[in-house]
Structure 1
Amino acid sequence: MGTVTLGVSIAVPEPYGSLLQERRAGFGDPVAHCIPTHVTLLPPTEADDSALPSVEAHLTRVAAAGRPFPMRLSGTGTFRPLSPVVFVKVVEGVSACTQLQQRVRDAEGPLVRELQFPYHPHVTVAHGIADEAMDRAYEELSGFEAEWTCTSFALYEQGADGVWRMLREYAFGAGPKLPGVPNVPAQGTAVDAPATTC
């Protein structure tokens, strides 16, 4: 039996996803191209590879019970000094993301786990880099804005090279498009960067 490292997240769609990924790379974050820009629902979690079918069945049920909801990003925040992270803030969709991640980690499912910190949906744009670069990320993205209708989430696996790759996308159960909120295309898959950068 082998183990896999899994994550569940909402990908930030285009054109926003690639823009933030390139900005993150520009701030000197070496893992910028290892995963599409995202809002985490389940942080990196080890599981037996034999559990993948039950994980996928569980996430299918979670998605079937969900409905599309509006997401809006605006401005920046930071977890410093507790954690060396600068992020773009989720200002609409917080409660929906919170409920969704609770269902993903449900005690009855295969992905139950405790979190290191209380759940706070966000989009990381700098992590563990020099303070000056963290400050620059905080300042330069302070005016960032984006909005879209969130219609799905995805399961990712981290490869031996450190790159996160999508295994499957899970669309929410049928629901009407929310008026006045644009749908935008999904961000492409992560760049296959050399292991030394991930």
Structure 2
Amino acid sequence: MGTVTLGVSIAVPEPYGSLLQERRAGFGDPAAHGIPTHVTLLPPTEADPALLPAIEAHLAEVAKAGRPFPMRLSGTGTFRPVSPVVFVKIVEGAVACSRLQQLVRDESGPLVRELQFSYHPHVTVAHGIAEEAMDRAYEELADFDASWTCAAFSLYEQGADGVWRKLNSYVFGGGVGSVPAQGSPVDEPAATPFTP
């Protein structure tokens, strides 16, 4: 049966999510329309499909213990020359994101893994494209600013077509609530809300 490629992230809500996704596409990033705008909590990770129930139960527990927190994006940054990435910076909520990703990857859970780089929460707006386009992304989004209350995170699966699709959302506190939709055609609503 093989493996599935999973990721866990915080969706950037509307109107910001679609706006940044369109800007990313406009900079020439071919992956833009297959990746809903997000803050990564677990990078692409191969998993046995049989582990999905345990993974979902684990994420539900992480969410149940969590509480909503303020998020604010402002300005741009880059990982160049180490990694060909331009991103929008998280200026509020980064500590909460760091704690959350540690819980997601906890060694007692089914998603334990090492990271290639130290965790640095961010919102990618350009990846692996021409240097001139990366420079343009860095400059043109330097004044970008967005704020919201983060009340949930989501589990995604990458399809054979390279598109990331939401499997479930987890709302903090264990209750059932609505998650702000990004509005992307690939970011379909979750069947069972998950409260972080």
Letter in 2 for 1:4: V
The 3 A distance-change label for structure 1 pair 57 and 184 is: closer
CA distance in 1, matches of 2:174, 2:50: 30
Give me the CA root mean square deviation.
1.6
Q: Which residue of 2 aligns with 1:188?
A: 183
Structure 1 unpaired stretches of 5+? 176-182, 193-198
- The number of equivalent residue pairs is 185
The 3 A distance-change label for structure 1 pair 57 and 77 is: same
Q: Which residue of 1 aligns with 2:56?
A: 56
Structure 2 unpaired stretches of 5+? 188-196
Q: Which residue of 1 aligns with 2:120?
A: 120
Superposed displacement of residue 189, structure 1: 4.0
Superposed displacement of residue 62, structure 1: 0.2
3-state DSSP of counterpart to 2:169: strand
Q: Is the 8 Å Cα contact of residues 21 and 32 (structure 2) preserved in structure 1?
A: yes
Deviations 1:48-91 (A, max 9, x none): 00000000000000000000000000000000000000000000
Q: Is the 8 Å Cα contact of residues 169 and 179 (structure 2) preserved in structure 1?
A: no
3-state DSSP of counterpart to 1:17: helix
Superposed displacement of residue 126, structure 1: 0.2
Does 2:87 correspond to 1:92?
Answer: no
Deviations 1:99-137 (A, max 9, x none): 000000000000000000000000000000000000000
The 3 A distance-change label for structure 1 pair 144 and 98 is: same
Letter in 2 for 1:113: R
3-state DSSP of counterpart to 1:137: helix
CA distance in 2, matches of 1:27, 1:132: 9
Q: Is the 8 Å Cα contact of residues 34 and 190 (structure 1) preserved in structure 2?
A: no
Does 2:26 correspond to 1:21?
Answer: no
**Bigger Cα displacement from structure 2, 67-76 vs 165-174:** 165-174
Superposed displacement of residue 185, structure 1: 3.2
Q: Which residue of 1 aligns with 2:101?
A: 101
Letter in 2 for 1:114: E
Superposed displacement of residue 188, structure 1: 2.3
Give me the TM-score of the superposition, normalised by structure 1: 0.90
